[in-house]
Structure 1
């Protein structure tokens, strides 16, 4: 059942911001694998892709809604990723990031470590001083969370796991696991014409918004990538915004 964004998300985000400095005994919880993004829209965690796309040589020039048919037009998720057709990522991959979260006027920072191996996706959250906050493990079917008991049962760290996939997973994978919404990709603005940096975007709209002919079409989620030409998405500075929730997420590679 989709979560109600207006009722759930502000509480989730507030709990996250309020709890970043907490430490203590941990508990193991099993989490849902689908998260609500808006009314009648949700994203369900996808397995690790078996065929990550190669790096792009040029930025996107036109927004598109349908999946690309040529691999050269897909944004890169890894610069050089070896995969196995049966077991997902064949060699371990690890990425460290500094994450800034802002909800309304509240803001905080944490460190994350994202690890990919086989069909297993692990996301570890640390406070700025290094205290362990949570460890999320997704094996393609179930999502488990080991986290400080002080975070409470209402702490929904799985939203961060979902956001990581919306940011880094190939477009066709996101579309296959997005319910009640449409993913549109393209240049964010004129800055994307630069030969030095690209500014590409992923935007998620509700189905009702795309059907409407109104000029006031607003996205539910926007992800902006600032990166050098030819860089993989893991090397990009990421800005994710959810205007309805007054939520902003900034990711800087470490």
Structure 2
């Protein structure tokens, strides 16, 4: 049965609020590692890359799309991200973020801690006052979720983990694990002082949309990165939108 992304995301903010004040009482669940973005498109969690690169390898002046069959001259460190599932991050990394979620007219905030070590990706969610909401762990094969029992099955941990990968994982790795869609990357706006900051984008389109000659082509997912020149990807202010689901995700590093 196709996954209803809009319905599943709509319940998350309310459930996060309902969990405030909990002092324990959690359950461990094992989640699926592939999530539906549309009826005919899905993304499957990818192994941890050995290292991370900016959203684009170099400044772009036009959007570009790389077919899955196109050969590349990426460095070996990038190629290994999709060919060697036993390769994890070279050293432990940890990143703290303030996350804002908006679904329709409802908006809420939480704090997250993303930790990468070896082959393990851990995402911890906290309420604004510091109460633990959930802990997601992906080891390259399985995704487990330790969370408040009040969240129940309506909290779709796999979607939150997938969004983090779509945002931070290298382009080559995303393309290798995206089914039924195409990733297009480039600069968001031509205007602006490129010496001060950059605003690059990742856009995911369905296969049918790219084939269509209509000028009204709509992306399924758009991720915008705003950062100063020379900053690491983790220092970027990030905006992810999914128009069909009326969903917006803002990430601010802290």
Give the TM bin, normalised by the shorter chain.
0.7 to 0.9
Superposed CA RMSD in Å reads: 3.8
Report how far residue 36 of structure 1 moved: 1.1
Kindly tell me: are residues 65 and 193 of structure 1, through their superposed partners in 2, closer, same or farther at Cα, counting changes over 3 Å? farther
Cα deviations by residue, 1:6-61 (Å, 9 ceiling, x for unpaired): 55443456545655665541110000111111121111100001353479785322
- Separation (CA, whole Å) in 2 of partners of 1:65 and 1:144: 33
- Residues 137-169 of structure 1, C-alpha deviations (whole Å, 9 max, x = no match): 000000000001111122112211111100000
CA contact (8 A) 1:20 1:110 kept: no
Contact preservation (8 Å) 1:78, 1:233? no
Give distance in 1, aligned partners of 2:159 and 2:68.
27
Q: Which moved more, 1:75-84 or 1:95-104?
A: 75-84
How does the TM-score come out when normalised to structure 1?
Answer: 0.87
Kept after mapping to 2: 8 A contact 1:34/1:43: yes
Q: Is the 8 A contact 2:6 2:246 kept in 1?
A: no
**Taking structure 1 as reference, are residues 86 and 8 closer, same or farther at Cα in structure 2, changes over 3 Å only?**
closer
| Structure 1 counterpart of 2:13 | 13
SS at match of 1:172: helix
**Structure 1 189/195 Cα, relative in aligned 2: closer, same or farther at 3 Å?**
same
Contact 1:2–1:35 (CA under 8 A) maintained in structure 2: no
Over 3 Å counting, the alpha-carbon distance change for 1:156 and 1:81 in structure 2 is closer
Deviates further, 196-205 or 14-23: 14-23
Change (3 A) 1:18 1:87: same
What is the alpha-carbon distance in structure 2 between the residues aligned to residue 130 and residue 81 of structure 1? 34
Query: Structure 1: how far apart are the matches of 2:42 and 2:68?
Result: 23
CA 85–219 in structure 1, closer or farther in 2 if over 3 Å, else same: closer
1:98/1:214 CA distance change after superposition, 3 Å? same
Per the alignment, do residues 152 and 75 of structure 1 end up closer, same or farther by CA in structure 2, a change over 3 Å counting? farther
Deviation at 1:88, TM superposition (A): 1.4
Unaligned 5+ residue runs, structure 1?
none
Offset at 1:203?
A: 0.2
Scaled by the length of structure 2, the TM-score of the pair is: 0.87
Which ranges of structure 2 fall in alignment gaps of 5 or more residues?
A: none
Q: CA deviation at 1:221?
A: 0.3
Residues 48-83 of structure 1, C-alpha deviation per residue, up to 9 Å, x if partnerless?
Answer: 013534797853222111179999999999999999
Contact kept in structure 1, 2:9 and 2:103, CA below 8 Å: no
SS in 1 for 2:226: strand
